């Protein structure tokens, strides 16, 4: 059988760390995820299967401390020139087993990138928060508490709205920020998170980037309340719920950077989120390829394997082509992000980077959904049977299309950049 490693990768310029890193994560997926992932749908509330798998990844393998500087007990990956490449590899390998588990892990690291990735490392904050993730034998989870009930994805639409729809407020009292607000649906909410990254405004209704503030808020601080998780159609390994901040008081240095820079770093956060989304979609599409390969090789029509039938070959050939092209685009996004400080790179917060990242996320997500549908057509009743796991991937990846503003914001930001639109 061909391995999914046969699909295109830029072998001449990928990080030398990628192969051994992938091998470790792949082994974890085979041992800790694949035997249990069919139970994940019923495990959405208790996480009896999901949490032990996360613990072995994040604590046992040390992933939860990977971004922190070595001086504070981490791996120092936030200072690496291969951060995007290894992040993508992690997302793809994990999502091959379960895209929601990959999302829960990446989202935890996602908020931490705001103050742990060069050139935006806040060493004082890193030193203070590092013990939660590095000096512990317990799972520690971060939540990017972004979406609000009244605005949905408006916060992600920084190019047009610039944070003016934010209603979660931060008021400075001496050397303490007082935070009030309500967040809805973020990954790793629903009682899971130990730490929140919270976009706020210091002046409600303002579109001035100086009024956009990003705070780190420990979940145990007085005034923080989380709801129970929601029961969803897919993505069971990712808990989603509501969070309320009621006069939560955090030290002034828990604001990650300060006026202006917080807004810029938040735009960079969106680029990292789009990279992760591409990795999730690719991992799911690759596992469906593996399942489909076995099916068309092991089942026959007219005394020949299904894959030798002209009509079937046309469909599976197109699926293979889409996976190959999507992987090329995925590594182009990796290059864009890891090149951010080189002369030929662009800032992660630039309109060009965000527009191109949006295009790639939109394209790869669409191809994943379409190709899972084609695989289900080829497999007939087996394609929709839970025992084959194809329908699980389908339910999960539909959600990848929805977050970070969904297709509409992807298309709007691409139009905004390439066609100079001014009102989108």
Kindly write down the DSSP assignment for every residue of 306-326, as one continuous string: GGGSHHHHHHHHHHHHHHHHH
Query: Do residues 255 and 263 make contact, with C-beta atoms less than 8 angstroms apart?
Result: no
Q: Higher pLDDT residue, 152 or 144?
A: 144
pLDDT exceeding 90 applies to what percent of the chain? 92
The CATH number that domain 262-418 falls under is 1.20.140.10
- Parts of the chain belonging to CATH 1.10.540.10: 4-139
Give pLDDT tens digits for 311-323: 999 999 999 999 9
| CATH class for the region spanning 144-261 | mainly beta
pLDDT above 70: residue 344: no
248 pLDDT more than 90: yes
More confident residue, 344 or 36: 36
Fold of the domain spanning 4-139: Butyryl-Coa Dehydrogenase, subunit A; domain 1 (1.10.540)
**Helix axes of 390-400 and 351-379: crossing angle, nearest 10 degrees:** 160
> How far is Cα 214 from Cα 201, in angstroms, rounded to an integer?
8
> Which residues belong to CATH 1.20.140.10 in the chain?
262-418
DSSP string, 330-389: HHHHHHHHHTTTSTT---TTSHHHHHHHHHHHHHHHHHHHHHHHHHHHHHGGGTTSGGGS
How many angstroms separate the CA atoms of 241 and 95, rounded? 22
**Where in the chain are all domains bearing CATH 2.40.110.10?**
144-261
């Amino acid at each position: 059988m061909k391995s999914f490693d046969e699909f295109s990768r830029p072998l001449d310029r990928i990080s030398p760390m990628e192969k051994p890193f992938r091998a470790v994560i792949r082994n974890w997926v085979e041992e800790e995820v694949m035997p249990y992932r069919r139970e994940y749908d019923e495990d959405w509330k208790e996480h009896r299967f999901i949490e032990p798998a996360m613990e072995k990844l994040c604590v046992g393998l040390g992933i939860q401390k990977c971004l922190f500087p070595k001086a504070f007990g981490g791996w120092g990956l936030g200072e690496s020139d291969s951060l995007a490449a290894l992040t993508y590899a992690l997302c793809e390998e994990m999502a091959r087993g379960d895209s929601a588990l990959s999302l829960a892990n990446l989202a935890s690291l996602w908020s931490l990138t705001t103050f742990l990735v060069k050139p935006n490392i806040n060493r004082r904050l890193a030193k203070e928060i590092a013990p939660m993730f590095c000096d512990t034998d317990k799972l520690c989870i971060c939540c990017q508490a972004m979406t609000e009930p009244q605005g949905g994805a408006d916060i992600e639409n920084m190019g047009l709205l610039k944070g003016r729809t934010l209603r979660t407020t931060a008021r400075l009292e001496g050397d303490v920020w007082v935070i009030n607000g309500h967040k809805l649906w973020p990954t790793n909410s629903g009682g899971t998170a130990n730490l929140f990254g919270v976009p706020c405004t210091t002046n409600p209704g303002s579109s001035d980037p100086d009024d956009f503030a990003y705070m780190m808020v420990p979940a145990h601080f007085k005034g923080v309340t989380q709801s129970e998780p929601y029961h969803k159609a897919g993505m069971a390994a990712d808990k989603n719920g509501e969070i309320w901040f009621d006069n939560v008081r955090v030290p002034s240095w828990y604001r990650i950077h300060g006026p202006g820079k917080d807004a810029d770093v938040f735009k960079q956060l969106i680029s990292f989120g789009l990279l992760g989304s591409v990795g999730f979609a690719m991992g799911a599409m690759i596992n469906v390829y593996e399942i489909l390969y076995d099916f068309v090789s092991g089942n026959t029509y007219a005394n020949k394997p299904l894959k030798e039938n002209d009509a079937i070959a046309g469909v599976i050939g197109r699926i293979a082509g889409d996976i190959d092209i999507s992987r090329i685009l995925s590594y182009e996004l990796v290059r864009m992000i890891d090149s951010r400080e080189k002369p030929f790179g662009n800032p992660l917060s630039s309109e060009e980077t965000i527009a191109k990242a949006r295009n790639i996320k939109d394209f790869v997500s669409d191809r994943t959904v379409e190709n899972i549908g084609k695989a289900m057509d080829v497999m007939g009743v087996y394609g929709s049977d839970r025992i084959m796991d194809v329908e699980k991937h389908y339910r999960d990846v539909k959600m990848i299309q929805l977050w970070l503003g969904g297709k509409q914001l992807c298309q709007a930001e691409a139009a905004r950049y390439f066609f100079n639109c001014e009102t989108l």
